[in-house]
Amino acid sequence: MTRLNTLLTAIRVRYEALPRFLQIVAIGLGLGMVALVLNAAVVRFLNYRTRVGAEAEALRDRVDNLYAYVARAEYVEREREALAKRLEDLKGRVVPGDTGTLAAAHLQDHITTVAADTGVSVQSAQVMREEEVGAYRRVTVRLTLRATLKSLADFLEKIEYGPMQLSVPFLQIDGRGAPVRKPGRTTPEAQRVLSATFEVRGLAAGGVAVPEATGSS
Please give, one letter per residue, the 3-state secondary structure of 141-180.
Answer: EEEEEEEEHHHHHHHHHHHHCCCCCEEEEEEEEECCCCCE
Q: Is residue 184 predicted with pLDDT exceeding 50?
A: yes
User: Cα separations (Å) of 114 from 106, 119, 136?
Assistant: 12, 9, 24
Q: pLDDT: is 22 or 83 the higher one?
A: 83
Q: Residue 196 falls within a domain, yes or no?
A: yes
Same domain assignment for residues 154 and 134: yes
Same domain, 65 and 26: yes
Q: For residue range 125-165, what is the model confidence (pLDDT) as tens digits?
A: 888 888 887 777 888 999 898 888 889 889 988 888 888 88
pLDDT of residue 89: 65
Largest CA distance in the chain: 140
200 & 105 share domain: yes
Task: Report yes or no on 217 lying in a domain.
Answer: no
Q: Is the pLDDT of residue 216 over 80?
A: no
CA distances from 75 to 175, 212, 215, 216 (A): 51, 21, 15, 14
- Domain of residue 62, residue span: 1-91
**Is 60 exceeded by the pLDDT of residue 188?**
no
Question: Cα–Cα distance between 207 and 37 in angstroms, integer?
Answer: 86
Q: Which of 106, 77, 102 is nearest to 164 (CA)?
A: 106
pLDDT score, position 14: 66
- Of 118-127, 133-142, 175-184, the range with the lowest mean pLDDT is 175-184
Residue 182 lies in a domain: yes
Domain identity same for 105 and 87:
no
Are 54 and 112 in a shared domain?
Answer: no
Work out the average pLDDT over 37-50.
Answer: 80
Confidence of residue 212 (pLDDT cuts 50, 70, 90): very low
Tell me what the mean pLDDT of segment 81-105 comes to: 76
* Residue 2 pLDDT exceeds 80: no
Question: Which pLDDT belongs to residue 94?
Answer: 80
Tell me what the mean pLDDT of segment 48-59 comes to: 82
